[in-house]
Structure 1
């Protein structure tokens, strides 16, 4: 292939990649800002000021900030503590505990919120009723339907962001400074407090900012625990405004103005995170094979293990078991006795049209979106990593942009783009959710495939083309087989989050296009707690089964890769 043809092929692939991201990502985001700031072709400063000065908007923004700040503080404290326990102490069963601390990643937080509402709601919570009976109380001692309750539940599911960041840094850090302090007579607690934690502070802050970003964008937990008491954050206020008006354009305009608050907040958080990661004060990873020293817990070993197990039991096992038990009740509110339980609730989930359709919709939308996004992300990643063409920075920017945007913002952009404005109306069809999933999860595919492609030497393609192979033949016979594990990883990284997604699809579903997350939320809102719990139980089974299959499949791929290398 001559240079002119190579350049032509590269430019065609580049332009096609840019076109995908512009249509799927850039246009929806641009339309959000145009709709928010312009009305009838004129800058709409008066309308913006009116909405932002609305007491409801102010309260929703204040609630968002309070929830994000509280969740960040609690998640950072919990995540850092458990990361230190796993990475730097002789805690028993460390590998098992590390795996258990990552379990909340698999669980949809809105299902956890539903479980805790069943346990601790002030009127009918099972734990509250038990405490009232034991201590003879006239009213429930715990009310989960508060801002504090929202913070507590969100923290249970977001602390792994901090745990992963800090645990990784602690595992890899250079032990020289700690060893020097120990030789100088400092005890291990002093070393941890004055040396270890300051060294990993950039990682702690990076994880904390990631928690803040996700908390600001959370819909499920605040919707389930807050709206009953009139507690709204920005995402739930957007949903309330749009659906209270029946999806009118004026309500969507209000939603876009509120969305700009989330976009600006996300941009500031990401910028701050980038500054922290680039301007870390210390280099904590050195070229030595020495491992950081491990603190001997001595008498605290068993108590801290018990605390860790109790934490997992309370935050993971208790709500999961509760969901399964409530899903099997004949009527909500009955005690968990065998005579009050039935299997029919679970069987009817596959017979009742709404829930049966929701399961089917989630499966084919998440599978389809994962497959298409994997392929598109592979092509875009190839341009970014392997092709020496101008304009690659556009792909990099557009590729990661959806990752930083709340799902509510992406949903509004998709509504504005695909509701007839350009002659294509996907509203109230599964296709609009499909497009939104591609936009939201494109960054996952690009990150996974870029990592795989960066490990493939350019010399392999060059040797193939020197032997007479075309560019496409080199890709098909050499590059794609080598990056297949990364492509498969990208597929599963998209499939599982899409399967349990709520924040985006709750604004996009129609009468026949509910997903599992939307159906659970709708059933709970309608007071169908038992049906909601039964569907949530089936969702958890699907998620756990999917996670197990994926881990085994990827493990086999890794083993096969090792054998090939040997």
Structure 2
């Protein structure tokens, strides 16, 4: 059988001409600019546009709305509020609270990070859990619990003191009380970031100092702490800004004692009649300038020294012998565990099972029929709580995963590459820290109402909003880890034929498994704990557990709010355990 080919004959393939040097440079330049360009586009939609709408509101007499963005009525009158007595007093209070709570959090978190990562402390696994467990209790839930515990008149601890014949001794509604509550609930952030740094630190440097006659205290002061400086400074800035901008805790603790901070002052401006959103935005712009200055100073400090401690050599962590301090170190961890977790949870539990909203005696409540589980049953069987739980888990996991990946990519480009325009990506990533969540939430609301993308009213807008709001935390966590992994490890793989992406995936990512998992866990907890940002974005079908708790508390349903808070804490604990169990290297806690 003869087959006749009726197709048009294929022309001869022309010889392949290698590209010229000019073409190579053109393609190389296009490739070098494309990566940062894509990241700039993503961060512009996530961060710059919402912040830009807030800035526009600060310089206009009307707030941006769909179909009503006024660019003609520009004014500086809104900034008169910044220099007024109300804003000045609130700014001073915020400064004192931010510095005080940052010091408390760094001391607690840094201590637990050091003893669990580098020492032979007793019950190391338990102390590692102690360092994380306050994250299972959102700060505003902890503030609610401590308002129940430490109220000057009806606080449970003061009532218990009366039961045993003592005078009331505690008032949490003041500046020290606010510093205390914020400090103990933001200590886990310092613990996570600093623990990752200690876990990657090369013990040969400390051993060399000991061989040359340095005492353990000198080694700690001259070698260990300076090498951990990126993580310490990153944690300090993160905690300072987060505590300065924290609205729920300041509202619960500070407002009850007549203490105004910048977030509560902004909240009052935005909820006054008529709303003064433009003046609130002007106050927020002031915070933007302050935090940008702090971030620039931090980068300059880190740029003066080399903090690389992981290289091609084998790494085996050294163990510091605490000697007689082993038991006191464990005792300090137990005290923190009681103050941050045990007492607050017991307070929520007691309020939940008590049959009356007002409690006159603690000991007497266990002798009569004053305890009931009805509030628990109502919370567990509530369809609203069920739906809110599912929404919270979906949003938290998705936002943490997307945030970790995006943060790692941006941090790698900024700290490891030589691509043009990379430095600006870091500044944009840190920008949400400077905008109070209550104002950023409005900016995100305006953004996704204006953009022609139908995501408002869905869980996707929550995921996008959380990714944007928590970009600084993810970026800071990824950066502090990347700075400690030497580029020679990747370069060696590339020289042996691996692509840069493959080298990152096979070399850098495995080395950063523990700190990246810590970053994921941090973003997961932040997403579960977030209250202020979703306040402006949720609908009936997209309510989260934090919204349900806040609504119950605002409506005066204290028992229902306490019961839902306990369910909330259980969900957060389960998520944190699963993330740590299947993601982190368990050997790091040994």
- Assess same fold via TM > 0.5: yes
* Counterpart position of 2:349: 324
Q: In the TM superposition, what is the alpha-carbon distance from 1:127 to its structure 2 partner?
A: 1.0
In the alignment, the residues of structure 2 paired with residue 42 and residue 84 of structure 1 have an alpha-carbon distance, to the nearest angstrom, of 55
Q: Which one of 108, 114, 136 corresponds to residue 144 of structure 2?
A: 114
Secondary structure at 1:102's aligned position in 2?
helix
In the alignment, the residues of structure 2 paired with residue 478 and residue 290 of structure 1 have an alpha-carbon distance, to the nearest angstrom, of 25
Q: Which residues in structure 2 correspond to 1:7-406 (within 5 Å)?
A: 15-39=37-61, 41=72, 43-49=74-80, 51-82=81-112, 91-137=121-167, 140-163=168-191, 168=197, 172=203, 174-178=206-210, 180-181=212-213, 191=218, 199=226, 202=229, 207-245=235-273, 251-279=276-304, 291=318, 294-297=321-324, 301-334=326-359, 335=362, 337=366, 339-352=369-382, 354-370=384-400, 373=403, 390-402=420-432, 405-406=435-436
Equivalent pairs, count = 536
Distance 1:114 1:378, change over 3 A: same
Q: Which one of 550, 563, 566 corresponds to residue 579 of structure 2?
A: 550
- Partner deviation per Cα, 1:353-389 (whole Å, 9 max, x = no partner): 5544433432333344446556766876897799986
In the alignment, the residues of structure 1 paired with residue 237 and residue 421 of structure 2 have an alpha-carbon distance, to the nearest angstrom, of 30
Q: In the TM superposition, what is the alpha-carbon distance from 1:425 to its structure 2 partner?
A: 8.5
Range that drifts further, 531-540 or 115-124: 115-124
Whether the 8 Å contact between 2:78 and 2:282 is mirrored in structure 1 is no
Whether the 8 Å contact between 1:224 and 1:521 is mirrored in structure 2 is no
In the alignment, the residues of structure 2 paired with residue 519 and residue 285 of structure 1 have an alpha-carbon distance, to the nearest angstrom, of 46
In the alignment, the residues of structure 2 paired with residue 557 and residue 529 of structure 1 have an alpha-carbon distance, to the nearest angstrom, of 39
Distance 1:496 1:458, change over 3 A: farther
* TM-score, L = length of structure 2: 0.74
In the alignment, the residues of structure 2 paired with residue 412 and residue 67 of structure 1 have an alpha-carbon distance, to the nearest angstrom, of 25
Whether the 8 Å contact between 2:292 and 2:431 is mirrored in structure 1 is no
Secondary structure at 2:206's aligned position in 1?
coil
Q: In the TM superposition, what is the alpha-carbon distance from 1:77 to its structure 2 partner?
A: 3.8
In the alignment, the residues of structure 2 paired with residue 281 and residue 376 of structure 1 have an alpha-carbon distance, to the nearest angstrom, of 25
CA root-mean-square deviation = 4.6
Asked if 1:537 corresponds to 2:562, the answer is: no
Q: In the TM superposition, what is the alpha-carbon distance from 1:32 to its structure 2 partner?
A: 1.9
In the alignment, the residues of structure 2 paired with residue 537 and residue 401 of structure 1 have an alpha-carbon distance, to the nearest angstrom, of 33
Whether the 8 Å contact between 2:118 and 2:318 is mirrored in structure 1 is no
Range that drifts further, 274-283 or 285-294: 285-294
Q: In the TM superposition, what is the alpha-carbon distance from 1:416 to its structure 2 partner?
A: 3.5
Q: In the TM superposition, what is the alpha-carbon distance from 1:411 to its structure 2 partner?
A: 1.5
Whether the 8 Å contact between 2:130 and 2:333 is mirrored in structure 1 is no
Whether the 8 Å contact between 1:202 and 1:276 is mirrored in structure 2 is no
* Counterpart position of 2:550: 521
Whether the 8 Å contact between 2:284 and 2:435 is mirrored in structure 1 is no
In the alignment, the residues of structure 2 paired with residue 502 and residue 375 of structure 1 have an alpha-carbon distance, to the nearest angstrom, of 23
Distance 1:526 1:280, change over 3 A: farther
In the alignment, the residues of structure 1 paired with residue 276 and residue 351 of structure 2 have an alpha-carbon distance, to the nearest angstrom, of 36
Q: Which residues in structure 2 correspond to 1:449-488 (within 5 Å)?
A: none
- Gaps of at least 5 residues in structure 2 are 1-17, 62-70
- Partner deviation per Cα, 1:442-475 (whole Å, 9 max, x = no partner): 456667889899877796899699xxxxxxxx98
**Larger-gyration structure (1/2):** 2
Distance 1:161 1:442, change over 3 A: closer
Q: In the TM superposition, what is the alpha-carbon distance from 1:142 to its structure 2 partner?
A: 1.0
In the alignment, the residues of structure 2 paired with residue 31 and residue 523 of structure 1 have an alpha-carbon distance, to the nearest angstrom, of 31
Distance 1:253 1:293, change over 3 A: same
Q: In the TM superposition, what is the alpha-carbon distance from 1:398 to its structure 2 partner?
A: 3.3
Asked if 1:501 corresponds to 2:533, the answer is: no
Distance 1:378 1:6, change over 3 A: farther
Range that drifts further, 58-67 or 79-88: 79-88
Q: In the TM superposition, what is the alpha-carbon distance from 1:320 to its structure 2 partner?
A: 2.4
